[in-house]
Amino acid sequence: MKVIEKFTNQVIAGGRFKPMDRVYVANQIKALVGDEDQEASGSTVKQLVQLAIDNHKIKDDITSREILNDKLYDLATPIPSQVNEIFSEKMQNSAQEATDWFYKLCVDNNYVKKEAIAKNVVFSGKGKQGHNLEITINLSKPEKDPKAIAAAAHDTGKKYPQCALCIENEGYLGDYGKNARSNLRIIRMNIAGHPWGFQYSPYAYFNEHCIFLDTLHEPMHINQQTLINLVEIEKMLPGYFVGSNADLPIVGGSMLAHEHYQGGRHIFPMMSASIKKNIGFNSYPNVQAGIVDWPMSDLRLISEDSLDLIDLGSKIIKFWDHYDDAACQIKSYDGKIRHHTVTPIMHSGRGKFILDLVLRDNNTSDKYPLGIFHPHKKLWHIKKENIGLIEVMGRAILPGRLKNELEEVKKYWLGEDNKIAVAHKAWADEVKAHENITSENVEQVMKQSLVDVFEEVLQDAGVFKNNPNGEEGWQRFIDALIKSIA
């Protein structure tokens, strides 16, 4: 079978077009790749992209390939209104059925880049302090196109779409410096009376990694409305967790300019961590509360009553917003500059809503210029970036550069010729001094060492440390919090 003919059949089978549209569809494909057909072999879309290059329909560069790839898959994908109608119909049966269908659609149309995601390094382990943690080395995102970098450097005009999370990305062709989104589909949702969108992440960090985005391009903010929204989403999609990055630099995510949350079908280590100290709020007898046994400072609220959960959670956020403790280097404001916020995470189980409020402080100092509660300098060789929502929950997102760098560390440990980076030398020597490393156990030693580093990273980001001073700080905070709420 010829490749254009084969893809025409796939497009018709996708449901967007009917058999009567076959000639029209074939001509749409030929307009993109050229009229000359060839025998089908291997991946249909990849072959069509190469055919377009051979026929001089597109340039042979990363951006041009990506744009055509997504445009071809767009032909095989139902239009947004059809997608939303089908999703809505399936929601009448169950949220599981609806999300299963939508996720499969996004995998089948290559918006979720499963082939690329499979390149990521993923493993888990237990840190020295006993916390279960997950490690990923991110290898899925493609390298930047030099032409796209150059275009972005000279782009000073008003952007459309304004950012990568705007709803205007749906169906957007893309260009140098602008993401290709022809095959993106977004489910429309009404969340607490406001229009939102629901889509999957193309380079997912975990199973069914999704994004909930405000249809307006407005900055992120954490307040009572955030908790209302998280509860509403959890009620709609009870099989998913949903959480928000913090809304301040250093402790927040990389997209503070657009209000959004993340979710998915994954149980993170923090979600399974136990409460190490119960807290009683007399005004909220229906809410179980406590400090979670976790490297970061996490208050957990559990209740069947979502209204009580929201009300108490909002009071905790407001209290933390103005809380100071010099003994723990905690300072809420510099003049009008706010330094406190939370990373809120919602999931459910056994008929109860579970809300984790992780306390964040983005102060800096001469000693810690990137953040007092940020990975400290000795860990930068592994992790220097912000600690966002996913990592707060116990899943490290480590940079792709580490894959090759850590291979050199292993060679160094084994006494082989190596090109170990200077940044890794002190750490490698410290590990080697405490481990009997052989060719049989070197991989496991490396994995365990990364887990231990990530546990330290989270401890650095915690405002109340797991030491006597931190425990005393926790107690002062809880005592003052209870008094303010009583």
What b/e string do you get for 221-248 counting C-beta neighbours within 10 Å, with b at 16 or more? ebeeebbbbbbbbbebbbbbbbbbbbbb
pLDDT for res 141: 73
Helix (H, G, I), strand (E, B) or coil at 403: helix
Structure token digits, residue 45: 């879309």
Structure token digits, residue 93: 């049966």
What b/e string do you get for 423-458 counting C-beta neighbours within 10 Å, with b at 16 or more? ebeebbeebbeeeebeeeebeebbbbbbbbbbbbbb
Of 288, 277, 448, 258, the residue nearest 352 (C-alpha): 288
Structure token digits, residue 207: 């199973």
Measure the CA–CA gap between 249 and 345, rounded to whole angstroms.
18
pTM of the predicted protein model? 0.94
pLDDT for res 151: 60
Residue with tokens 């993401």: 179
| Residue 437, strand partner residues | none
pLDDT in tens, the chain (486 residues): 899 999 999 999 988 999 999 999 999 999 999 998 899 998 999 999 999 999 999 999 999 999 999 999 999 999 999 999 999 999 999 999 999 999 999 999 999 999 999 999 999 999 999 999 999 999 987 665 566 555 655 555 678 999 999 999 999 999 988 889 999 999 999 999 999 999 999 999 999 999 999 999 999 999 999 999 999 999 999 999 999 999 999 998 888 999 999 999 999 999 999 999 999 999 999 999 999 999 999 999 999 999 999 999 999 999 999 999 999 999 999 999 999 999 999 999 999 999 999 999 999 999 999 999 999 999 999 999 999 999 999 999 999 999 999 999 999 999 999 999 999 999 999 999 999 999 999 999 999 999 999 999 999 999 999 999 999 999 999 999 999 997
Torsion of CA 252, 253, 255, 256, to 10 degrees: -10
Beta carbons of 441 and 120 less than 8 angstroms apart? no
pLDDT for res 12: 96
Measure the CA–CA gap between 188 and 186, rounded to whole angstroms.
6
| Residue 275, strand partner residues | 292
Maximum C-alpha span of the chain = 77
pLDDT for res 143: 60
Beta carbons of 139 and 27 less than 8 angstroms apart? no
pLDDT for res 32: 97
Of 467, 448, 391, the residue nearest 128 (C-alpha): 448
Nearest-5° angle of CA 248, CA 250, CA 253?
70
